Structure 1
Amino acid sequence: TQIETTTSDYDKEKLQERLAKLSGGVAVINVGGSTEVEVKERKDRVDDALNATRAAVEEGIVPGGGTALLYSKKSLEGLKGKNADQNAGIDIIRAALETPTRQIVENAGVEGSIVIGKLLESESKENNYGFDAQTETYTDLVKSGIIDPVKVVRTALENAASIAGLLLTTEAMVAEMPEPKEPMPAMPPGGMGGMGGMGGMGGMDF
């Protein structure tokens, strides 16, 4: 079909819209709000949800919370490279696969190493066991509705690997240095000098 053969993302999106209209699977979502900022925020959320749903329909889903990448770390156990550089690369990937879960957990104010250790030691064969950052509990992520589209997880890993490879083969990199924040000015000594004229209030009767 044209959807499968086209190389243009724009053409593919338009063809999918046409197919949806022909099959009757069309819905109109009206997004409203009190202010323009609120409307834009809600529209962005709807767009994110639609894109995630499309990605899930295309390639399926995996447990969310970064656990899909975390559990894939087990497949690297016992893997040895042919030289020290390859071994260093394997170690870097092992650490990188933990990062999404660690960041989500630490954003919730919980120690990431403790949660990751408990998840990797779990005996869950389906790898659905994970950490719900909202309730700070361990649960079956799929049953709790915490899922990620396979396409999103896959492309994130592929893009990260591509950028890392580009950095390794680049002779120089340009980075933006953070601007130093100036300290707040100190309060002048002697308190609020402008209030000195209030001394004449001693004659007021209460």
Structure 2
Amino acid sequence: GAPSITKDGVSVAKEVELKDSLENMGASLVREVASKTADQAGDGTTTATVLAHAIFKEGLRNITAGANPIEVKRGMDKACEAIVGELKKLSREVKDKKEIAQVATISANS
């Protein structure tokens, strides 16, 4: 069909279909990342897909270089825990309508 313009990571991910079955499996995982991010956070799908790609690429590079896949997974889990902990420390409660409007404005990319 005709090309469309979007800034939505889920829309982009849904359109990706690859001929190679293994590559398509990877694309399917990225679609799932984007979809779950949209469901749980409502935004950030593009960032989530870029992060998923980087995590996969670095994990594969390490495993190809001889790292134990189970240890790579454990390392990813530890990193995730640490990042979530830091984000929770940096977060703060939105207390009034003005702050809600500011969050909505940023989320709407303007």
TM-score by length of 2: 0.40
Greater helix content = 2
Q: Which has the larger radius of gyration?
A: 1
- Say which structure is richer in strand: 1
